[in-house]
Amino acid sequence: EAKDRGRARYVVFDGALRGALELRQQVEADLRRGIDRGELRLLYQPVVDVQSGEMTGVEALVRWQHPTRGLLAPDEFIPVAEDTGLVVPVGSWVLHEACRQLQDWQRKSDLALTVAVNVSARQLSDSRFPEAVGDILQATGADPAALCLELTETALLDATDATTATLQALRRLGVRLALDDFGTGFSSLTFLKRFPIDVVKVDRSFVRDIAVDPDDAAIVAAVINLGRSLNLETVAEGVETPEQLRCIRRLGCHLAQGYLFSPPRPPEDIPALLNALEPAGIRDGMDTAA
């Protein structure tokens, strides 16, 4: 009887697994079509100078405007895209569109912003990636110095010497490199030593309880100090409250992004935000001296 139950459970599991596989294949086929049909969109989240409250740049965040499922967040399709290699065409589109938009803001509104773009492991493992980035910069006329490529520790986890060469080639183009979600991986410090990084982004899981949990406050303080002493720019992710802003400001963090300032927004909203970024929220976090 126990054996029967075991078998029954196995059958259920098998069915669930097959379901998951089918779903994955469905998403893959769907996404392949979606890319061709121009269903991808970029939203832009402001990045703000912690001291002055001014928007200095934006991070481009991909969405998929699915014909029946609505607007999909990256966690609903980027993992499948990673597994299937579709993240390479998705990533090229994102990079091209972000650079086109950057140049458009510069040209039409004289906005001097930086644009951060997320890059996945699959893109990075292709030795022709720097050349592709160079082509996109040239085709769009975007300023390389205004482009920052964000890499995660997991993307660098099985990095080889070839990866280091790729990162150096990207640096030679004049683009900057950020380590995203800093602190969530296993060997953050090794990565900082090994790779030519310009910016560290403190993961929002550490920022969340910074005002109430002394351990998290200590971790964020250590990361910001480390970044500063290595001459890296520091960015705090996921800043939602004036208290969190006050904490990172006191710790000397350079930049911040989060719902306190603005959620990710469509590109046409960005120019108007330059001098009008939820001023109350910013002032709230800023007026109290340490």
| Contacts to Mg ion by CB under 5 A | 118, 150, 180-181, 203, 237
- By a kind-dependent CB cut-off of 5 to 8 A, residue 78 interacts, out of Mg ion, ligand C2E, none, with ligand C2E
CA of 130: how far to CAs of 61, 154, 166, 203, in Å?
21, 20, 7, 26
Distance CA 88, CA 265 (A): 24
Minimum Å distance from CB 12 to ligand C2E? 32
**Among Mg ion, ligand C2E, none, what does residue 80 contact (CB within 5–8 Å per kind)?**
none
Least distance CB 161 / ligand C2E (angstroms): 23
Q: Could you tell me which residues come within 8 angstroms of residue 230 by beta carbon, excluding any fewer than 6 positions away?
A: 192
Q: Which residues bind ligand C2E (CB under 6 A)?
A: 45, 61-62, 73-75, 78, 87, 91, 94, 118, 120, 150, 180-181, 204, 237-240, 257-259, 264
Q: Which does 140 bind (CB under 5 to 8 A by kind): Mg ion, ligand C2E, none?
A: none
Give least dist CB 262 to Mg ion, A: 15
- Report, in angstroms and rounded to the nearest whole number, the Rg of the chain calculated over CA atoms: 21
- Look at residue 62 and give the partner it binds from Mg ion, ligand C2E, none, a contact being a CB closer than 5 to 8 Å depending on partner kind: ligand C2E
| Smallest separation (angstroms) from ligand C2E to the CB of 235 | 10
State how far the alpha carbon of 256 is from the alpha carbons of 25, 67, 99, in Å.
Answer: 38, 34, 22
Q: Whole-number minimum distance, CB 81 to ligand C2E, in Å?
A: 8
Distance from C-alpha of 266 to C-alpha of 112, rounded to nearest angstrom: 18
Nearer to ligand C2E, 195 or 259 (CB): 259
